[in-house]
Chains A and B, each alone.
Chain A
Amino acid sequence: MKEKTSLPLRRIRAENITKAVKKLFIDANTRLGRDVVAALRAGLKNEQSQLGRQVLEKIIENAAIASKASMPLCQDTGLAVLFIELGQDVRVTGGDFSRAVEEGVRQAYDDGCLRKSLCDPLTRMNTGDNTPAIMHIDIVPGNQIKIIALPKGGGSENMSRAVMLTPAAGMDGIRDFILQTVEQAGANPCPPVIVGVGIGGSLEAACLLAKKALLRPVGRKNKKDRRLAEMEAKLLEDINDLGIGPAGMGGRVTALAVHTEMMPCHIASLPVAVNLQCHAARHAEVVL
């Protein structure tokens, strides 16, 4: 393998990380991505149910209102999930990296009128500032930091599932599990959904792949593996044949896209995770 020469060390101030994270969560929560709006408009053309079309129209109208008024698209402004690629030639100065990120989350949810939706699992008392954030950090070559904010709503997260299938279950087993997950979810995850699928790895790796799959622009097929691209297209058809429809009130548009990521797994296992994303598919990213 060709060795990469390391880049000159670059200093990034912790306060700039805080500022960036704050902006990302406010932007993500108030502005729906163009890719999502385009997918919703395409859905509107395909939807045969009149009620379904009305729901899609309202979703599109809501996105315009939210953006104009800088109001959250959805009251559930989510868990603060972050995917971070930290260049190995970056030196963070003036504070701790993780604390700087947490502070950005705190400020976004406080100053941006975003709902604080985290609580103690047992007492159910709200943590008050939407922290802790859920951070996934990769160390990568380079001297930059890429931060992706993914505010993740509870309704769609609750309908997500993981399973350790047997290798014998194969492709049919994977397909059945995904379809069952979407069908059982029904109206709960706020369809039309984006279906993130992670196949392989370990239990937690499959879950992480499924969530990472949600970061793809809506409807962009898997470019690394033709098998997966084909699976995505077939699954999208099958899911839309479930008839759940927009808001679960019936119709042809149950999902906007299926995104699948895969990695090798143990010879004994076939882990599959399905991470459902509501139609308010929010994410924003920045490179520092």
Chain B
Amino acid sequence: MNDMLPAHEENLIRVETPLTDGVCTSLRAGDMVLLSGDIYTARDAAHRRMYDTVRKGLPLPVDLKGATIFYAAPAPTPVGKVIGSIGPTTSYRMDAFTPVLLEYGLKGMIGKGNRSPEVIEAIKQYRAVYFAAIGGIAALTARTVKKMELVAYKELGPEAIRKLTVSDMPLVVANDTRGGDLYARAQHKWRILV
């Protein structure tokens, strides 16, 4: 196991959405990525709705094929800005809904914190990728968003699904198609408490 976490500017990998099998299988846990293209925001309430929708056999409000979901709900947009502060919410709360969304074509997820064994397995099975973003740097992250459009579930307020066009959003690959796990590896490397 490679326990070095690449953290050099020169190691940055540029990735564009929509994500393909090829891109997903090429990424490894610990890779530093700059992501560009369209992504969707969806968190707790939107996940519950999407999950219930596909379970009923109804069409989703967004096409998930090759899509990337950012587990996030932005702060309101100040006058003259594209978006308010935005950053990742904790991902484990989406775990129960994730394998089904991956089955429907979801390829990328952006959030913070580790995932369940079921999600880690589904990421391998469906050749997807889970990116970790840094929480709590939302004014900085907002700068990577060039465009925002509300696309579904408006009544959920901040939790509505929005399409964001992002440019060079800095992320770290947390879980890859081979079962690599950034968070598990990090703790294995740095824990010294007996």
Does A93 touch B at the CB level, under 8 Å?
no
Q: Determine the distance from Cα of A6 to Cα of B61 in the docked complex, in whole angstroms.
A: 64
Q: Is the Cβ of B138 less than 8 Å from the Cβ of A72?
A: yes
Q: Say which residue of A50, A58, A77 sits within 8 Å of B140 (CB atoms).
A: A58
Q: Is the Cβ of B139 less than 8 Å from the Cβ of A126?
A: no
Residue-by-residue, is A260-284 near B (CB-CB < 8 Å gives 1, otherwise 0)? Answer: 0000000000000000001110000
Q: How large is the interface on A (under 10, 10 to 19, 20 to 34, 35 or more residues)?
A: 35 or more
Q: Determine the distance from Cα of A119 to Cα of B89 in the docked complex, in whole angstroms.
A: 16
A74 to chain B, nearest CB (A): 5
Q: Is the Cβ of A115 less than 8 Å from the Cβ of B73?
A: yes
Does B92 touch A at the CB level, under 8 Å?
yes
Residue-by-residue, is A51-84 near B (CB-CB < 8 Å gives 1, otherwise 0)? Answer: 1001100110110011001111111110000000
Q: Is the Cβ of B136 less than 8 Å from the Cβ of A62?
A: yes
Q: Is the Cβ of A188 less than 8 Å from the Cβ of B157?
A: no
**A interface SS class:** loop
Q: Is the Cβ of A251 less than 8 Å from the Cβ of B113?
A: no
| Residue among B45, B112, B138 facing the most chain A CB atoms (10 A cut-off) | B138
Q: Is the Cβ of A62 less than 8 Å from the Cβ of B140?
A: yes
Q: A62-B139, A243-B186, A245-B186 are in contact. Are A75 and B87 (CB under 8 A)?
A: yes
What residues of A have a CB within 8 angstroms of the CB of B45 in the complex? 119, 124
Q: A59-B137, A71-B85, A75-B85 are in contact. Are A243 and B113 (CB under 8 A)?
A: no
What residues of B have a CB within 8 angstroms of the CB of A154 in the complex? 89-90
What residues of B have a CB within 8 angstroms of the CB of A248 in the complex? 112-114, 132, 183, 186
Q: Is the Cβ of A250 less than 8 Å from the Cβ of B186?
A: yes
A65 to chain B, nearest CB (A): 5
Does B193 touch A at the CB level, under 8 Å?
yes
Q: Determine the distance from Cα of A130 to Cα of B189 in the docked complex, in whole angstroms.
A: 41
Q: Is the Cβ of B132 less than 8 Å from the Cβ of A73?
A: no
Q: Say which residue of B5, B84, B114, B186 sits within 8 Å of A71 (CB atoms).
A: B84
Q: Determine the distance from Cα of A51 to Cα of B45 in the docked complex, in whole angstroms.
A: 32
Q: Determine the distance from Cα of A187 to Cα of B115 in the docked complex, in whole angstroms.
A: 11
Q: Is the Cβ of A74 less than 8 Å from the Cβ of B132?
A: no
Q: Say which residue of A73, A119, A247 sits within 8 Å of B138 (CB atoms).
A: A73
| Residue among A54, A188, A252, A279 facing the most chain B CB atoms (10 A cut-off) | A188
Sampled A-B contacts (7; CB under 8 Å) = A51-B5, A115-B84, A116-B157, A186-B114, A186-B183, A188-B112, A279-B136
Interface residues of B (CB under 8 A from A): 5, 7-8, 44-45, 48, 72-78, 84-87, 89-90, 92, 112-114, 132, 134-140, 142-143, 155-159, 172, 182-183, 185-187, 189-193
Q: A155-B90, A187-B114, A247-B132 are in contact. List 17 more A-B contacts (CB 8 A).
A: A58-B134, A58-B137, A59-B134, A66-B139, A71-B84, A74-B85, A74-B87, A75-B86, A115-B76, A124-B45, A126-B159, A186-B114, A241-B191, A244-B190, A245-B186, A250-B5, A251-B186
